[in-house]
Structure 1
């Protein structure tokens, strides 16, 4: 494990943001080459994606993909340990350094003992945090030719017991989308606001109407989380009535179908309120994540692997509300994403003091390898 631990700490010290994972990709490629994949596909998707291909000993009967992520977050790390981030306002606060490391350990295990009839694809995906990476990989012609039969991914879950395996059929993570509403009005003197079109009241009405869409009881239909992210209007010049305003919202729902319905409703609300106040709306969307829909028969491989390895298994009642672009893969292929507990007292994901617990690396690699063995034995 020494080389894996050093790799993880090197990745943590040298984080890169979504779409800029060039040195990270070089590091991963160099490591993988030591464990002799039958093929190493590089520069996938937006230019930094990697897939290590391991062929079985005999005839290929099925192809299985496992995915991890390359990117870090724009967060300033506050830890003081030796492997802390070397870059201001960039750090691995979601555990992707750990996910990459366990995938590299998985590659080592495969190199020592290949499958009999199962072709394994180890995908190191860029740009998960902004929702662009999976879309780019799916669209890559080299990826399309691989055509996996099943796809798997995991995510570490602070607040769950160390090594606990969290599974769920059907929706595992919510659909997420974000709307940007720009309201173009007319600037005027603050003493004569009637001569202009100030967006302030429109912004307040949009907030009120959007919040009415919140339905925070997951036991009821159309579970919805509405979160205002950013508001900007005018300047600090007290003699000027603002002529422009901007508001950003992010929202979550359990199902992709219900998400499309909500998107239409919110855009209609924004346009009608803008028209009411003589404002010209400019609406755009960003960081869209499809709901991650787990196929129950694929989740069973995770359950069986965890059981065989004597890990605690927890059946989740409700989906996680965070966005995960692995949902793009489960739209195209039968798949399963599962959670891996990273400790009750571990800082939460995206917190500035978070750090991947190294004792989890072997657990994740063992689960991926055991899943592969079970599928191979079919």
Structure 2
């Protein structure tokens, strides 16, 4: 029986795990139930378990039959999003305002499937390191695990990750060498003017007018400062001010995100954002403060590990189901920080067409669970071999 067939034969158990996780979603750093289920499953399969890595993270260690010292890391994220689910699925979220709208319940399950298979067969050299990460959705879960000395305590020669993609290309694995996903900064801008009666605007410094001018001015940061050959995005996503019809408020706020692939462009956009805010503040006689958070690094796939991932995917799924040159994504992923510490590769696995990621109507495609599990397991079997 092939690896894929063997995993698929027991897929009902995996689907049940995934749907249970979906029904009980947990926000980043609150994944206590999820991590307990992961730990219990790993221990039941004879895998050494370490809890509380990066607060709620789990690491499992499994040694193969050979004598190789190579250690291959596999990582999955566990957290949900603060979204009210809009499906009527029998396993829909039971927690108001919280939903697995990005498929992390599926990623966790696929890694559990790989761990179960490898624990049953142990047909690999070296050691498999199963990394179940908390708080991927902008809360710094990867950095928390790294700060907890993840790779010092559990050394890995290589590390791999996988994300579902509801694009209708079922079972198609895509992976890109080099920069594959953008860095992300989040910014908060606070405009302080002078409040006044709305009938006497001359007595105030209107932060709403300043806010409108700033929204317009910031659109030129990318369009008129960035080399057109280099990609960058600056999006304002939150605009807040005032609470009454007849009051000019004292303050207004803006917030948003910057996405880039190049460190020089990233620094330039942040600098121009600050300079634009300072100029607008001077022009209107207001005070503007800017806070910029470095949230995600550029995700860069290593050449050797990308080639290995492509080889495994081609073997398992066939060449027609592999995309070796997808477009880079402006979305971000904090697995990027693990790839700064250890060489590795991050791939996307296509599922059925449906609602987009981070959408309240999203539904993970359970039929790709055995595919993802097989891909991750085969990476351990191939890459742990002595002499690589």
Q: Contact 1:154–1:340 at 8 Å: present in 2 too?
A: yes
Partner of 1:307: 314
Name the TM-score, length of structure 1 as normaliser: 0.93
The alpha-carbon deviation at position 350 of structure 1 amounts to 1.1
Contact 1:106 1:366 in 2 (8 A): yes
Q: Is the 8 A contact 2:305 2:345 kept in 1?
A: yes
Shift of 1:95: 0.5
Say if 2:30 is the partner of 1:20.
yes
Matches within 5 A, 1:23-102: 23-37=33-47, 39-45=48-54, 47-102=55-110
**1:64–1:11 distance in 2 versus 1, CA, 3 Å:** same
Distance 2:313 2:204 in 1: 64
* 2:18 corresponds to: 8
Q: After superposition, what is the alpha-carbon deviation per residue over 1:131-158, rounded to whole angstroms, capped at 9, x for unaligned? A: 4101101110354222311111011111
The structure with more helix, counted as a fraction of residues? 2
CA distance in 1, matches of 2:212, 2:325: 37
Give the CA deviation at 1:309. Answer: 0.9
Map 1:151-170; keep pairs closer than 5 Å: 151-170=159-178
Residue aligning to 1:347: 355
Work out which of the residue numbers 180, 190, 199 in structure 2 matches 1:191.
199
Q: Is the 8 A contact 1:93 1:354 kept in 2?
A: yes
Alignment equivalent of 2:299, drawn from 288, 292, 309: 292
Match for residue 145 of structure 1 among 143, 153, 158: 153
Q: Does 1:225 align with 2:236?
A: no
Q: Matched residues in 2 for 1:321 and 1:352: separation?
A: 21
CA contact (8 A) 1:132 1:287 kept: no
Mapped to 2, the partners of 1:160 and 1:261 lie a distance apart of 37
Q: Which residue of 2 aligns with 1:337?
A: 346
TM-score of the superposition, structure 2-length normalised? Answer: 0.91
**Which consecutive segments of 4 or more residues in structure 1 shift more than 6 A?**
none
Aligned to 1:325: 334
Counterpart for residue 241 of structure 1: 248
Q: Structure 2: state its 5+ residue gaps.
A: 1-10
Question: How far apart are the structure 1 equivalents of 2:52 and 2:75?
Answer: 16
Distance 1:266 1:373 in 2: 48
Could you say which residue in structure 1 is the equivalent of 2:262? 255
Cα distance change of structure 1 residues 150 and 160 upon mapping to structure 2, 3 Å threshold: farther
The count of corresponding residues between Structure 1 and Structure 2 is 373
| Structure 1 stretches lacking a partner, 5+ long | none
> How far 1:22 moved relative to its partner?
1.0
Residue 280 (structure 2) pairs with residue 273 (structure 1): yes
Partner secondary structure for residue 151 of structure 1? strand
Give the corresponding residue for 2:119: 111
Contact 1:63 1:149 in 2 (8 A): yes
The RMSD of aligned alpha carbons is 2.0
Deviations 1:291-326 (A, max 9, x none): 101111110111000111134111334211111111
Hey, what's the Cα distance between the residues in 2 that align with 1:225 and 1:85? 33
Match of 1:125 in 2: 133
Once the two structures are TM-superposed, the CA of residue 272 in structure 1 deviates from its matched residue by 2.3
User: Is contact 1:21-1:48 (8 Å) kept?
Assistant: yes
